[in-house]
Structure 1
């Protein structure tokens, strides 16, 4: 799994509870689009300026005299920069929430070894003594992939994760009104202060860290932009944006990732649930908008009906830059991975599963 790029604007500064963000977090969610337009003029031009990426469609007459439309429009994916593209496969974290997933230590080791060419995120070692022991065992396997673990925005969780020997920590806390009210009851200033405390601690131990707002697609996005700008300045390697309930649309994803890309210099990780069948499409447009890291699971297993499937995303990204993807990932191992996980969780490979033929891998 590729390294998360460090922030180029890591001038950490003191933060007190109550004044953690630069401005009061009182804007409405609709203001994010006004924010986009106001900043785009100074930064990179209008968000919807098609003229920069395609030319006009011309009309021609073919030899039979029948009119036909021809276009030299270049697909948006042709402009995608894959330099920092990385998979964060969460089969051993998100996948554990799948109804039929009850991985024992031996199975976790099998899956981790099979995922070594893609990327590995583990369940929080603070979740249970068994999770902690399994995390420590996998960290000592000598795998090439970075071993990441998922934790709450909690110093105790962070301390246990650091001690377990992981290479990176994916920290999250609910930021939507629903989760703020029903999950932890804290305001955004508290979240900002706690994020600073944990980021500074984790970075002092030379471990990479991602900060993510759980349910961030249903959060006030003007507040997300301010909060993520802050954690970027504090030195977070990545910020994460999560469609926790699976209701985001591709257009919404593009607009929000585009706005976030303009607000932060660090990497951007995405997590898309598949409740409406849009997880792969959302991941692809997030890539086009500037996201760098993508959470997946083998066969898309996870909570409810899962998240972006590893094989499905690979099939799509192959169309963007086949040579790059084949040089970075050993796609010939996908078949083994899918059969392994399907056998362990007791499901059949879907009849319409995404296929990468051997010809694609020559």
Structure 2
């Protein structure tokens, strides 16, 4: 399989911080940026420096780390925003404006052509000051393809390094995304970037579909945090690229640690069943599953937990089977008879059906109870 030609731009420090109620300190942003760099992320969007002096300081601090990752920031198509990017000495500035008829009418009260000319002037200004430019369409998924093509052609002619397509309200499906990217990249003179939101739960799928259709720069956030329902999840995208796209240059073993770091700093809990980094991502209770896993882990794990810094867990409950229970009991250093195992299994099912969790402490007490009960029968 020929590897997909892609790079990652992680936007956790900008779009991720736009999650309602989330604010990262400068030190937290630096820590996250270093961890993203260690994984091998090519571009880190460090923030939106025109927002505040504190935000500008954070972006400057990340630039000052001299990471291997290139540092990007966001700017509206106004001179003050581009000046803030220049002051921060970032590698790339993402100059954006909303292109859908709805946004043009409500936000700008200008025509698409008027906004395009204003944006192109800022592309000129940024490139004249030595910055690489990502020329970005906000709400691109509700913008006519013909206008996007015109915008991207003119941006490339003015020196934009990238063209960027944002599914700002997460309204696309994977097939729609694939077809759109194929059409946009037919005559595109620079690489296409894809920025997907998760309003319909399609952000990761849309991102991978875009990559398969020819998109180059893929935008992600750690744990999928971001406005409303969030963005494409970094860990999901990287695993999909490894397993389906032949891309193996990222250090995925650091994903679990990065996830926990962002969970701590953001205060946004990762759901237990979250793909790749959730507490139950590699947890198994079903007796049928565990019995097979003990023979061959590939039976119920598509990729090994160690690949992403995780661990396999067997959880005891009403679906537990005898073979899985025996494995767990032996791993704890106990040796029980067949009758004792049968008794213990019955007690576990009774307790779990009462919606009580079989914690390690509960299990140990049940083992001791079983040893005494069954021992008295002999």
Q: TM-score normalised by the shorter chain: which range applies?
A: 0.7 to 0.9
Give the CA deviation at 1:358: 5.2
User: Does residue 241 in structure 1 map to residue 165 in structure 2?
Assistant: yes
More helix by percentage: 2
TM norm structure 1: 0.74
Match of 1:165 in 2: 89
Match of 1:211 in 2: 135
Alpha carbons 2:220, 2:232 under 8 Å: kept:
yes
Match of 2:80 in 1: 156
User: Does residue 317 in structure 1 map to residue 241 in structure 2?
Assistant: yes
1:171-182 to 2 correspondence within 5 Å?
171-182=95-106
* Structure 1 CA distance for aligned equivalents of residues 138 and 224 of structure 2: 19
Give the CA deviation at 1:347: 3.1
What do residues 68-92 of structure 1 show as CA deviations (whole Å, max 9, x unaligned)? xxxxxxxxxx56x533x11110000
Match of 1:302 in 2: 226
Alpha carbons 1:326, 1:361 under 8 Å: kept:
no
How many pairs were matched up? 280
* Structure 1 CA distance for aligned equivalents of residues 102 and 245 of structure 2: 39
Give the CA deviation at 1:275: 0.8
* 85-94 vs 342-351, which moves further: 342-351
What do residues 76-110 of structure 1 show as CA deviations (whole Å, max 9, x unaligned)? xx56x533x11110000000111241111111111
Secondary structure, counterpart of 1:103 in structure 2: coil
TM norm structure 2: 0.71
Secondary structure, counterpart of 1:115 in structure 2: helix
1:24-43 to 2 correspondence within 5 Å?
none
Secondary structure, counterpart of 2:113 in structure 1: helix
Q: Any gaps of 5 or more consecutive residues in structure 1?
A: 1-77
Alpha carbons 2:198, 2:232 under 8 Å: kept:
yes
Give the CA deviation at 1:229: 1.5
* Structure 2 CA distance for aligned equivalents of residues 349 and 188 of structure 1: 40
Give the CA deviation at 1:321: 4.2
What do residues 304-323 of structure 1 show as CA deviations (whole Å, max 9, x unaligned)? 0101000011111112344x
CA RMSD in angstroms, aligned pairs only? 1.7
Q: Any gaps of 5 or more consecutive residues in structure 2?
A: 277-302, 310-378
Match of 2:274 in 1: 353
Secondary structure, counterpart of 1:190 in structure 2: helix
1:284-303 to 2 correspondence within 5 Å?
284-303=208-227
Q: 1:183 aligns with which of 107, 113, 119?
A: 107
Q: 2:33 aligns with which of 112, 121, 130?
A: 112
Give the CA deviation at 1:180: 0.3
